[in-house]
Every structure is written in structure tokens, then in C-alpha cells.
Amino acid sequence: MIFRLFVFVLFVLTLGGCAEPPYTNVDNAQLKALLAQGVPLYDIRRPDEWRQSGVVEGGRKLTYVDASGRPNPEFLSRFTAEVDKNAPVVLICRTGSRSDSLARELAEMGYTQVYNVRNGITRWISEGNPVARL
């Protein structure tokens, strides 16, 4: 009986790990379509990263966390003032990891149309897409 319970709990936990994220991952083609529709793109990297690789043209720059992983104290107040919870918004970082974390956080806060650029600006650049240099 205990073994069956253990197997059931393990099964339920495994299913939870396979659940779809509460936001939408997009590739570069989908990002281009969203940008064409006027959906704002937030580049959540740090200023040194923006200078190093450039940014997607028209992207809004707003640092989410510093190099040590500490949250930018201005991020949440500025983001919530600029983006309505029911409006679409796209997030991008270097590889998609920080934007993934932020997308989850925003969905938990009630944002309903959050898009995460899978593989970040690294893939954007490697596929030959243009960037604006700072």
C-alpha cells in the first residue's frame, strides 16, 4: 500500500513538471510577427550586455536582475506602470533563461499575454537578424 502511494505521488509530481508554462514561448519568426503587430519587446538584460551585442530594434531596455542575480529595485514599479496586465508583452534576454523566470513571475502576478523569446538574443543574432548598436 505504501509503495502504491509512493508511486502515485511520484507520478503526480512528474506530471506537474511536464505542465505547460503559464506564458508562451516564441521563436524568432513569431517574435517578428509580434513586433509587426506593435507588441512591445522588453530586453531585460544589463546595460553592459546591451552594449556588447546590441538590442533588437525598437526593444525597450529595462534591467531585471544585476550580474549577481539581485533584482533591479526599479524594475517592477516601472514595468507595471508601463504594461497593463491584459496587454501583450514580449521578453528577451541573452539565452531565454532570465526572461523565462520573469515570464513565470509575471504570469503569477496576473499578466495574461506574456511571450518569452526562446533562446534569447543569442539565437536572434545567430540567425542573422539585425540589432541596433548602442
Q: Which H or E run contains 92?
A: strand 89-92
Sign of the CA dihedral with 125 first, then 69, 51, and 73 last: positive
CATH of domain 22-126: 3.40.250.10
- Where in the chain are the domains? 22-126
Which amino acid is present at 10?
Answer: L
pLDDT in tens, the chain (134 residues): 554 544 444 444 444 455 678 999 999 999 999 999 999 999 999 999 999 999 999 999 999 999 999 999 999 999 999 999 999 999 999 999 999 999 999 999 999 999 999 999 999 999 999 999 98
Pick from 26, 22, 49: nearest CA to 118: 26
Start-to-end Cα distance in the chain: 64
* DSSP 8-state secondary structure symbol assigned to residue 65: B
Measuring CA to CA, how many Å separate 122 from each of 10, 30, 106, 128?
Answer: 36, 16, 23, 10
Three-state DSSP at 116 gives strand
